[in-house]
Amino acid sequence: MAKDKPSAKQQQLDGYRVSRESGYLTTQQGVRVDHTDDALTVGERGPTLLEDFHAREKITHFDHERIPERVVHARGAGAYGYFEPYDDSLAEFTVARFLTTPGKQTPVFVRFSTVAGSRGSADTVRDVRGFATKFYTEQGNYDLVGNNFPVFFIQDGIKFPDFVHAVKPEPHNEIPQAASAHDTLWDFVSLQPETLHTIMWLMSDRALPRSYRMMQGFGVHTFRLVNARGEGTFVKFHWKPKLGVHSLVWDECQKIAGKDPDFNRRDLWDAIEAGDFPEWELGVQLVPESDEFNFQFDLLDATKIIPEEQVPVRPVGRMVLNRNPDNFFAETEQVAFHTANVVPGIDFTNDPLLQFRNFSYLDTQLIRLGGPNFAQLPVNRPLADVRNNQQDGYGQHAIPQGRSSYFKNTIGGGCPALADEDVSRHYTEKVDGHKIRQRAKSFQDHYSQARMFWKSMSAVEAKHIIAAFAFELGKVEVREIRSAVVAQLNLVDHELASQVAGKLGLPEPAEESVDDKMPASPALSQLNTARDSAATRKIALLAADGVDVRGVERFRQAMGEYGAIVEVLAPAGGGTLSGGQGGELSVDRAITTMASVLYDAVVVPCGPASVEALANDGYAVHFVTEAYKHLKAVGAFGAGVDLLRTAGVAEQFANGSDVVVSHGVVTTTAAEDTLPDAFSEQFAVAVAQHRAWDRDTDPVPA
């Protein structure tokens, strides 16, 4: 698929690109270099000379190549793309033109990230994921700095250092890395019940995304849209992926962390390079100011959501990511987001967590990026005209002209002049009260929405939450902390607390009387997401010499029409396999270099010799067994069905040329040119379902 025409932002970046695929090696001053393997010395074995300016420059730059990593969201991946509104329906609510001009494509840069781990941690840890979007609008840069959870752990930003200190590796031994299964985090949770709603999300499958492309994003806070009359409307922002919301299972996550710690960032990069551009729909929940107090919770409380059943999400546009960065450090690492980067038509509320973020993000970038001029870095530079009286400082790239650098002035003709239109004006509201340190009473219900989330889960999702609590708390060394967390869970739901207690060897807590005032919200269950496409799903096809080449080609072509990706895995990587009836099949990878956890499905083709070789290969047998265990689509045709039997796949298999589907296992005895189209059709359906959840027979909560 051809890439889209370069956006205005890409054209702006062209002036900063330096190709390393042509030209001569030079110093930073542009002096050509003819030797860079040996420093200047006195004789062959004499002392090195400081006058070797090239060597000194080279090593000095190397010594300064690292900048402080982000305290949180250190590990990330990014991409460029565009946002396009569907229509002008938001024009009555906001003057932000990028949201209200149909057909207008606003360039964006999106950075996805994990929160707790360092830059060197794995992608598939149990964690919140960042979902930050920089819109390069004609009215200035707007940053929607969100997460894949719609809620956060705390209500007031003053507690943010405490929370992060608790979830980070413990200070005495710097363990564990990128994990929440340790004492300090759960001690904090047991003493801060405001964390419970987000903790429920963290223990759910939402914390284990299959890919960034299959992950929701949320603005978290309640913001405010402002129209041309200065009228405000409360707004919550939602990103919904076109491919649906899908997750890994915990056993996969732990194995992928060893097999491919770059799993999510690789997936994003590869999809864009292949032309399978990720897409999300932007939706908004709008609340008139007159309805501010009509909810059972406070709109300014970042630990609460507005259930979609109360205020539906209104689709307003789509975002497509279609270009990978040219350089990870220059773009993905140096991109600087800030919740206070808003444009006319978007404003803040008095959410106490948002207010702190509006201070903290700018403060963070000053130390990370070396001074106040980080907005001039190419990835951060706005497309809108930038003129002001700020000057000097580290990293000043602009060359201001003129004698004046102050306002008001006559020497510069009064410029830069104040604007009288298309400006950002703060929403006007009356604020009155005493200076106090006190949380609003409307912020003090910490259990109702955590309970709502629990009630909204399917049986299999609920089972995963219980298993997650058991795993996390099972690693907590202080028994009293485990008991304290179970006591808090008992105030969310007695059955949840009882099952977790049982798995931890703790006594069942006494049932508490709770105010069950919020109904379940079906929108919170991932099993209600889109499951109608096999597009971009990766299928491992296991083969050896003697494989049914014609059958494989028919299957591969058919799956390509569904947008799925089939990779041939063989005992030895590279080269080709000989076909049982002639022909050859190219091998993509060696089975031993991959694993079932890196694929969405597995299929075994016909070819008696091929199947016999695979059956004698313990790695290949385990590959099928593990995929089946993880509830993935498993398929076989012809003699390939025998490998499923060897692997212990306990399903009904085809005994004839008809296609049999049994709990996500698709089989037929037909092969070669007689392989029925129905086999590929049914296999694509099974892959689109993400997993065969009905194959999971473990006990689930009542």
> Running DSSP on this structure, what letter comes out for residue 663?
T
- Neighbouring residues of 99: CB distance < 8 A, sequence distance ≥ 6: 85, 90, 316, 317, 345
- The residue among 475, 489, 234 whose CA lies nearest residue 347 is 234
Token pair recorded at residue 428: 């006007």
Per the CB < 8 A criterion, the answer to whether 602 and 614 are in contact is no
Q: Measuring CA to CA, how many Å separate 108 from each of 325, 373, 379, 384, 629?
A: 12, 21, 10, 14, 40
Look at the block and give the residue holding tokens 């290969």: 617
- Neighbouring residues of 643: CB distance < 8 A, sequence distance ≥ 6: 542, 604, 611, 614, 615, 620, 621, 624, 636
**Out of 35, 61, 64, 73, which one is annotated catalytic?**
73
**Out of 141, 147, 324, 341, which one is annotated catalytic?**
147
Token pair recorded at residue 127: 């964690």
Per the CB < 8 A criterion, the answer to whether 247 and 60 are in contact is no
The alpha carbon of residue 631 and the mean position of all alpha carbons in its chain are separated, in whole angstroms, by: 23
Please tell me the distance from the alpha carbon of residue 493 to that of residue 486, in angstroms, as a whole number.
Answer: 10
Helix ranges restricted to H, 505-655: 549-561, 608-615, 618-629, 640-646
Please tell me the distance from the alpha carbon of residue 306 to that of residue 321, in angstroms, as a whole number.
Answer: 28
Token pair recorded at residue 406: 């102050």
Q: Is 558 left (phi over 0), alpha (psi -120 to 50) or beta?
A: alpha
**b/e burial code for range 515-534 (CB count within 10 A of at least 16 → b):** eeebebbeebbbbebebebb
- The residue among 374, 344, 270, 399 whose CA lies nearest residue 100 is 344
Run of H or E residues at 235? strand 232-241
Helix ranges restricted to H, 298-433: 352-368
CA torsion through residues 611, 616, 617, 621, sign: positive
Q: Is residue 408 reached through a cis peptide bond, with omega within 30 degrees of 0 on the bond before it?
A: yes
Residue 73 known to be catalytic: yes
Token pair recorded at residue 205: 């499958």
Per the CB < 8 A criterion, the answer to whether 397 and 373 are in contact is yes
Per the CB < 8 A criterion, the answer to whether 315 and 282 are in contact is yes
- Neighbouring residues of 382: CB distance < 8 A, sequence distance ≥ 6: 136, 140, 141, 375
Token pair recorded at residue 99: 């949201």
β partners of residue 99: none
Dihedral angle of Cα 503, 509, 511, 513, to the nearest 10 degrees:
-110
- The residue among 80, 610, 46, 626 whose CA lies nearest residue 331 is 80
Angle between helix axes 677-688 and 549-561 (nearest 10 degrees) is 50
Please tell me the distance from the alpha carbon of residue 82 to that of residue 85, in angstroms, as a whole number.
Answer: 10
The residues annotated as belonging to the active site are 73, 147
